[in-house]
Chain A
Amino acid sequence: DQQVKQNSPSLSVQEGRISILNCDYTNSMFDYFLWYKKYPAEGPTFLISISSIKDKNEDGRFTVFLNKSAKHLSLHIVPSQPGDSAVYFCAASEGSGGGADGLTFGKGTHLIIQP
């Protein structure tokens, strides 16, 4: 049972446009959500996070939106740049912050930015 779902295995976006990556979850106990970015042959690196008490968090070109009632979150990247081409993992945790018990990851979405 996949508690965190990223239904798009890949997404192709033109450079300069907005990239929108989606993530759905089923566990209503999740209250902290993170996005990780992963290049080939490297470990995932933290990108941005959001607590369930918020519905939006912004950091430069990256914004994460959370819709708790729909159990859905999305990552917006604008404008998209070639260096954004990577696999993006959505992750979630229970409890206040979730550092203790590990994160539950989605399968990832491979974002390809076309010049």
Chain B
Amino acid sequence: NAGVMQNPRHLVRRRGQEARLRCSPMKGHSHVYWYRQLPEEGLKFMVYLQKENIIDESGMPKERFSAEFPKEGPSILRIQQVVRGDSAAYFCASSPYGTGDTTGELFFGEGSRLTVL
């Protein structure tokens, strides 16, 4: 499967625990985006990364959330000390292009659904 791969598909955590969501972009894509979808809401941009660099994290909550995209391996979205309000679907998307791209198309994974008890 050459698509964007996210795991786990479903994750249940208790308040105060840590959640780690992983995303492997499509082959050949070096640009990764994370979005969050709260119930009854649209997709909210969180962070945009290239390999080893955070390009734009303007949508990330200032505390408890972090993201990385190492030279080797998947991109990781990490949520520390989860609270019930973090329950959402987290979507990763990738793109072969960055600034100056004329298509704007992002390829999305199937999402990771986090439930905080």
Which residues of A come within 8 Å of B, CB atoms? 4, 6, 32, 34, 36, 41-46, 49, 51, 89, 91, 93, 95-108
Contacts and interface: CB of A to CB of B under 8 A. Distances in A.
B55 interface: yes
A99 B103 CA distance: 7
B110 A99 contact: no
Contacts, number: 89
B43 A49 contact: no
Nearest to B101: A99
Contact of B111 (A36, A43, A46, A105): A43
A44 B43 contact: yes
A97 B59 contact: no
Contacts of B44: 105
Contacts of B45: 101-105
Interface SS, B side: loop
5 contacts: A41-B110, A97-B100, A100-B55, A100-B101, A103-B104
B97 A46 contact: no
Given A43-B108, A44-B108, A89-B42, A102 B56 contact: yes
B74 to A, nearest CB: 16
Nearest to B9: A41
Contacts of A104: 45
